[in-house]
């Protein structure tokens, strides 16, 4: 009988321990579930672009993935294979039909894409734009480079390279707004802050390497005292580089370019291009996912404005020179 009693006591003891433990567990669970930044793997966020295969998107996607890993959610990458807005519309329609947790979109034709973007927002799917905006759409936010400011940075770097003195030119793509803005920021800054410098010529290379080379040669002939050229896009930069290389004037003419294509990086490595401006593409991807997660989870609310997201996040530029060029080759 005594033995039996002992066993019963043990049983009761274990039961009490078990109940106690169960309650502790519940308390712990409640505390942890308060972490609002814990997603689940069945939450899928989608990045949609055009020309999906180009290197340019790789860093943006890496940022998107890094945020997904930190927040414990899933991501997908979709888009048009070509520079074709109709293909992008089809892809975006397919993505919307699957009701993802959020979509980050970049587009080369906002007008054509606006109705589809708005359809997603109206269906309750969070949408942000990155890299290239659709300003008249209902997307909640835009994350990308402020092109005017990028031009300002280019001007400061050019002034540093030239010791604040000399004639400079710009090779750009006059038909596109982002290139006009880069040119304007460059011009305004030289005019305002560097009285011993002057922008003597602005020519359009139409985004083409050969044409950019040609207009640079014209510019050099017209302004033999030219000390520097700012190319507002990568093909143009390589074209300017070839003109300067062919004329053997690498020591007297400094080039600043844009973006970090292999051709541009190689010319920096060779000392033909002095510097290029790298856009903050990783940041576009990382903060796009953070923003979408905030909307999808309803983490916080700005009482006055509803959406907690800023209208615009300027992802900035980083100046790449011979010293840090190795960091920018794809790994």
State the residues that interact with its own copies by CB under 8 A.
Answer: 3-4, 7-8, 10-11, 14-15, 17-18, 21, 25, 28-29, 32, 34-38, 59, 63, 66-67, 70-72, 143, 146, 149, 278, 280, 282-283, 286-287, 290, 299-300, 302-305, 308-316, 318, 327-328, 331
Which of 251, 277, 248, 254 is closest to 264 using CA atoms?
277
Q: How far is the CB of 37 from its own copies (least distance, A)?
A: 3
In angstroms, the CA 326 to CA 260 distance is 11
Question: What distances in angstroms separate CA 331 from CA 43, 67, 324, 326, 327, one per listed residue?
Answer: 29, 19, 14, 10, 9
Say if residues 64 and 45 touch (Cβ distance below 8 Å): yes
- Of the chain, the end-to-end C-alpha distance in Å amounts to 75
The count of other CB atoms within 10 Å of the CB of residue 153 is 21
Q: How far is the CB of 141 from its own copies (least distance, A)?
A: 9
Residue 16 pairs with which residues in a beta bridge?
none
**Which residues lie closer than 8 Å to 234 by C-beta, 6 or more apart?**
257, 258, 259, 260, 261, 263, 264, 276
In angstroms, the CA 102 to CA 128 distance is 8
In angstroms, the CA 304 to CA 307 distance is 9
In angstroms, the CA 264 to CA 273 distance is 7
């Amino acid at each position: 009988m005594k033995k039996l009693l002992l066993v019963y006591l043990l049983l009761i003891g274990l039961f009490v321990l078990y109940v106690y433990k169960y309650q502790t567990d519940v308390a712990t669970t409640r505390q942890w579930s308060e972490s609002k930044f814990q997603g689940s793997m069945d939450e899928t966020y989608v990045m949609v672009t055009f020309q999906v295969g180009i290197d340019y998107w790789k860093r943006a996607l890496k940022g998107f993935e890094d945020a997904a890993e930190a927040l414990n959610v899933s991501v997908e990458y979709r888009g048009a294979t070509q520079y074709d807005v109709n293909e992008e519309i089809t892809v975006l329609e397919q993505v919307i039909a699957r009701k993802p947790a959020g979509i980050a979109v970049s587009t080369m034709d906002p007008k054509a894409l606006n109705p589809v973007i708005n359809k997603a927002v109206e269906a309750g799917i969070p949408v942000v734009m990155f890299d290239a905006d659709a300003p008249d759409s209902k997307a909640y936010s835009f994350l990308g480079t402020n092109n005017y400011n990028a031009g300002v940075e280019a001007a400061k770097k050019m002034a540093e390279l030239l010791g604040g003195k000399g004639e400079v030119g710009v090779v750009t793509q006059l038909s596109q707004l982002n290139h006009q803005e880069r040119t304007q920021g460059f011009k305004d800054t030289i005019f305002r802050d560097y009285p011993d410098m002057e922008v003597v010529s602005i020519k359009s290379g139409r985004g083409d390497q050969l044409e950019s080379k040609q207009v640079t040669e014209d510019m050099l002939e017209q302004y033999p005292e030219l000390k520097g050229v700012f190319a507002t896009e990568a093909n143009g930069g390589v074209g300017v580089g070839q003109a300067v290389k062919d004329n053997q004037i690498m020591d007297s003419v400094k080039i600043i370019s844009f973006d970090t294509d292999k051709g541009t990086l190689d010319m920096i490595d060779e000392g033909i291009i002095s510097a290029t401006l790298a856009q903050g593409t990783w940041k576009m991807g990382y903060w796009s996912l953070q923003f979408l997660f905030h909307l999808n989870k309803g983490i916080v609310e700005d009482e006055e404005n509803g959406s907690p997201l800023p209208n615009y996040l300027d992802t900035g530029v980083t100046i790449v020179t011979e010293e840090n060029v190795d960091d920018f080759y794809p790994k």
